[in-house]
Amino acid sequence: GPALLFVKTSQGKEEGRRFYACSACRDRKDCNFFQWEDEKVSETRLAAREEYNRSHQPSFTHRQNVDRYKNFVLLPSSKRRFCQECQQLLLPAEWEKHSDHQFLCDITTAQLKSPSQLLYPLENKKTNAQYLFADRSCQFLLNLLTDLGFRRVLSVGTPRLHEMIQSKASQEEQFGVRSLLLDIDFRYSQFYTEDEFCHYNMFNHHFFGGETACETCRKFLCEENGEGVIMVTDPPFGGLVEALASSFKKLMAMWSETEKGGHDNKEMPMFWIFPYFFESRILDFFPSFSMMDYQVDYDNHALYKHGKTGRRQSPVRIFTNLTPSMIVLPEEEGYRFCTVCQRYVSSGNQHCEICNSCTSKDGRRWKHCVLCKKCVKPSWFHCNNCNCCTLQKHSCEKTDVGCFVCGKAGHKRSACPSLSRA
């Protein structure tokens, strides 16, 4: 889909130079598309790019994959193979072509129902960054949203949540929750119909399936007059918050536009799962959001997993526009309700009388700094040079790099004047 407009800044220069680059791949190695904003593109280069794009399309369309799946499930289990190298379900006629590839045999219905276990996670940090929810966290999210009465979940980059909902719905008749998965990982099109999965880029709000896919999403959001729907998203943490926020606003607008009378300016309910250190960035774009203390855990994330020696802390939280007091966190995991803040907090999160809130972001007990007039991390101290609290080890010089948004020096992107204008 469309590239994003970035700006390159060089030290000492007022204006940066603007260029287009791939919205989804933050690493040139994954996608080398680069074009200066004011660059004249020759016919030859344009043709070459088009040819490149054509030759890099997936080997089957979503439609074809749906048909293939229908044939696949009719096969006896002895004929159900999955090529691990191509990450593809194989029909018997195709075995030959994959004969020197590693494959799995006897694919069961259970395996087909949990593709996130069958497919290997694309861990490439800069592009897919596929970190799958630990079962406990996924179960928690699902219970939370069913307890809140939601019946439709727009799963944006949350394949594991999607699959948990899908398999529950197929097993328990009275389980009335449905999910639509939007993800850039096209491998999922092998397992879900066009009503269950849309190939989607959340950095530019691009539906690869065109207007039809976009319409599928709109219909899903607007069923039952838009009632009972929530969006849950867990984007790659390296992603640009402004790009994500702009896409999410468009998804929210899809929900509010088609509705026939009645949300009275309400926003579509949303869970945005992201590390706590992005709090201020997210609030810049979604002032109605607040951050929950719940620590989201992952299966394949070495850093965030539980250690043998007890619990390692995950920095990943839930940001939501729902009333915080409605988000009930499990007491058996140490969360408690703060009656002053009217929300559930981590056990280590002490209510600060001066700030009049439970101020810890990372679950540890924070300390109040009178000079900064706020609570800070336990490991920080107040530096009189910098006039703020920071790590003991730091250099006192201020760095003066240009703003990421407009490229001018003197302010950071969160304070960029062109943002408020836009």
Q: What is the contact surface with ligand SAH in residues (CB under 6 A)?
A: 24, 128-133, 157-161, 183-185, 200-203, 234-236
CB-CB contact of 197 with 207 (8 Å):
no
Nearer to ligand SAH, 244 or 375 (CB): 244
Number of residues that bind Zn ion (CB under 5 A): 19
- Helix ranges (H only) for 148-240 are 159-171, 210-222
Scanning 16-24, 30-38, 240-248, 371-379 for contacts with Zn ion by CB under 5 A, the matching segment is: 371-379
The sign of the dihedral angle between the CA atoms of 316, 116, 191, 85 is: positive
Residue 157, binding choice from Zn ion, ligand SAH, none, Cβ under 5 to 8 Å by partner class: ligand SAH
CB-CB contact of 244 with 203 (8 Å):
yes
Residue 327, binding choice from Zn ion, ligand SAH, none, Cβ under 5 to 8 Å by partner class: none
Using CB under 5 A, pick the residue from 4, 83, 240, 419 that binds Zn ion: 83
Gyration radius from the chain CA atoms: 24
Residue 130, binding choice from Zn ion, ligand SAH, none, Cβ under 5 to 8 Å by partner class: ligand SAH
Determine if 202 is a binding residue for Zn ion (CB under 5 A). no
Nearer to ligand SAH, 19 or 271 (CB): 271
Residue 132, binding choice from ligand SAH, Zn ion, none, Cβ under 5 to 8 Å by partner class: ligand SAH
Distance CA 18, CA 197 (A): 35
Long-range contacts of residues 394-402, Cβ cutoff 8 Å, at least 24 apart = 400/11, 401/9, 401/11, 402/7, 402/9, 402/10, 402/11, 402/13, 402/16
Residue 236, binding choice from ligand SAH, Zn ion, none, Cβ under 5 to 8 Å by partner class: ligand SAH
Scanning 15-23, 91-99, 300-308, 310-318 for contacts with Zn ion by CB under 5 A, the matching segment is: 91-99
Determine if 341 is a binding residue for Zn ion (CB under 5 A). yes
Residue 269, binding choice from ligand SAH, Zn ion, none, Cβ under 5 to 8 Å by partner class: none
Coarse DSSP helix, strand, coil percentages of the chain, rounded to the nearest 5 percent: 30, 20, 50
Scanning 167-175, 193-201, 261-269, 367-375 for contacts with Zn ion by CB under 5 A, the matching segment is: 367-375
Nearer to ligand SAH, 243 or 403 (CB): 243
CA distances to 106, 162, 196, 287, 322 from 165, in Å: 24, 5, 11, 30, 21
CB-CB contact of 133 with 161 (8 Å):
yes
Nearer to ligand SAH, 202 or 327 (CB): 202
* 405 SS3 class: coil
